[in-house]
Amino acid sequence: MVEESDGIEDALEGQLRVLITAAGQVAERVTRAREDALRRTRAGSEHQARAVQSRLAAEQAAARVELGNVHRPDWLGFRGWWQHLAVWSSHAGGS
């Protein structure tokens, strides 16, 4: 014997399919949004890393220029300061 369906079971099954399809679409959108957020975060981190690296390179270049003077013969340096101190001391002490 075949029982006749009142259609409620078919209606519920249809609604369940619609809900599962909608849930799948929502999950896809959430996944895409998370991927986009991750890409933006990575891009921001890479930009920040490049900025820090650029600033470091600029500071290193400035330090090279500033400390490059120690190789010039007219720069006093440590030995030059001692010589000037000795000369100053001899003049101050001799007066």
Instruction: Please report the pLDDT score of residue 81 as a whole number.
Output: 61
Which residue's structure tokens are 């075949």? Answer: 2
For residue range 11-40, what is the model confidence (pLDDT) as tens digits?
A: 999 999 999 999 999 999 999 999 999 999
* Cα angle: 53, vertex 59, 61; to 5 degrees: 105
For residue range 29-87, what is the model confidence (pLDDT) as tens digits?
A: 999 999 999 999 999 999 999 999 999 999 999 988 888 877 776 666 555 666 666 66
Which residue's structure tokens are 């003049």? Answer: 91
Instruction: Please report the pLDDT score of residue 15 as a whole number.
Output: 93
Q: Which residue has the higher pLDDT, 91 or 46?
A: 46
Name the token pair of 92.
């101050």
The H helix count followed by the E strand count for the chain is 2, 0
Q: One-letter amino acid identity for 80?
A: G
| CA gap 35, 66 in Å, rounded | 46
